Amino acid sequence: MDSLLNSVDSQLVLLIAAIAVVVLVSQLFFRILSVGLVPLIGLAVIFVGLQSLFGITPKQVWFEVSHLPQMAMKFFSSLA
C-alpha cells in the first residue's frame, strides 16, 4: 500500500483537486448569478424607465422606499 501512495505524484493530485474545486465553485457562482440576475435586470429596467420617461432619479426612488413604512402608517391611521 505504501508503494502505491509513494508512486502517486502529490502535485498531480493537488492539481486535480484544484481543478475540481474551481469547477464546483464556478458552478455555484453561475447558479447564484442566474438566480440573482433576473431581479437585478428587472430593477435596472424599472430605474431606466423611470429616469427616461419621467425624469425620476434612483435617489428619489430610494428616498420614497425608505419612507414607505411611515407613509403606510399615516395611510392606515387615516382610514381608522
- pLDDT tens, residue by residue, 45-80: 999 999 999 999 999 999 999 999 999 999 889 887
Q: 4-8, 17-21, 49-53: which range is least confident on average?
A: 4-8
Q: What is the pLDDT of residue 45?
A: 94
pTM, two decimal places: 0.53
Q: Name the grid cell of 2.
A: 505504501
